[in-house]
Amino acid sequence: MTARRAFVLGAYVPNGGTIMAYQLGRILERDFGFRAIAVATAEDRADAGIHVYDLLMPSVSREEMLRQATGEDVVIVNPSFSDQLFGWRTPAFKISYVQGFTTFPLLDLKLDHFVASSDFIAGYLHALYGLDPRVIPPFINLDKLPPALPWRERPEAVVLPYRKGMPAVWNLSYLRLHDLVTQRAPHIKLAEPVGGALVPQRELLTKLAGVRYLLTLSAAEGFGLVPLEAMALGTVVIGYDGFGGRHYMRPGENCAVAPYPQIERVSELLIDAVSKPEISAAMALRGQETAARFSYEAFRSAWIEEFDKVLPASVGR
């Protein structure tokens, strides 16, 4: 019998949302016996150096997927592909793992099943579309993190800005914060910002593992993987909560964040965190405790349960 197929849209696109879609294909292949296939353009390459892929899927074009997929197959469709209306165009069972809300103007409601990455996303989908999706948070590779410097060995007054999100919002937020911090606490050093789509994940994590403070000014996140990875490495997260970050961020307990656009408040939180290292060290420990809950094992277990429940009998285990 020919193995049923799990087509993963954009499996090798270098960002956090698509690496999670890749992981769904990986689970369907290894736990359900599907043949996972990446649906990619010529630019989407597993060897691009951003993420590490331990299951190399064969690739087909989007046009080939549309020709090949049948009602026996599954298609994993991130909502950023909503404008291509795959829900209307293929008979396969279509699952959308909704991890954000800024990459699509209108959700393709012809997809068959939706899962949300955070409580905020679930509430957004309910308020706008009347959906009631299950929440399955993304995971971080807790057993593959780089070694982290002990808190006391990290630079005392260095803050690492992470560049992600809408460029105009990020730039204006950063310039405002820079001015406020320079005026009130000139001893604090804002390091060269890191981030961007082409920075290898390992390189970014290694930088996070060597600083006490991460500044995140991404105004709109469906979840926020990098701040959670920073927590796992014992780095205090300061900045915007990104809306979706509220799923795990507890201001004053495991992080120092405020809602967009409260950049003046973020500046105060940053100065306060650097000025009170003992309190920040305790916050960093609580952040590590939070991050430990978002393991691959928890992610895989939740998705196996979800696939068992929602896949049509013809494509189940």
- Residue 77: name the closest of 5, 136, 22, 139 by CA: 22
DSSP state of 118: S
Q: What is the pTM of this model?
A: 0.94
Rounded to an integer, what distance in angstroms lies between the CA atom of residue 152 and that of residue 193? 22
> Concatenated DSSP letters for 201-255?
HHHHHHHHTT-SEEEE--S-BSS-HHHHHHHHTT-EEEEE-TBGGGGT--BTTTB
Between helix 263-275 and helix 277-291 the angle, nearest 10°, is 110
Within 10 Å of residue 128's Cβ, how many Cβ atoms?
Answer: 11
Distant-in-sequence, close-in-space partners of 244: CB < 8 Å, separation ≥ 6: 100, 117, 118, 120, 121, 220, 221, 222, 223, 224
> Concatenated DSSP letters for 136-194?
------GGGPPP---GGGS-TTEEEEEE-S-HHHHHHHHHHHHHHHHHH-TT-EEPPPE
Q: Name the residue with tokens 């429940």.
A: 309
Q: Go through the chain and tell me how many residues it has.
A: 317
Q: What's the confidence (pLDDT) of residue 197?
A: 62
pLDDT tens digits for the chain (317 residues)?
567 999 999 998 877 788 999 999 999 999 999 999 999 876 666 666 577 888 889 999 999 999 999 999 999 999 999 999 999 999 999 999 999 999 999 999 999 999 999 999 999 999 999 999 999 999 999 999 999 999 999 999 999 999 999 999 999 999 999 999 999 999 999 999 998 666 788 899 999 999 999 999 999 999 999 999 999 999 999 999 999 999 999 999 999 999 999 999 999 999 999 999 999 999 999 999 999 999 999 999 999 999 999 997 655 55
Give me the amino acid identity at 208: L
Q: What's the confidence (pLDDT) of residue 315?
A: 57
Q: What's the confidence (pLDDT) of residue 314?
A: 54
DSSP state of 32: H
Domains in the chain with CATH codes: 5-138+295-315 (3.40.50.2000), 142-291 (3.40.50.2000)
Rounded to an integer, what distance in angstroms lies between the CA atom of residue 120 and that of residue 65? 32
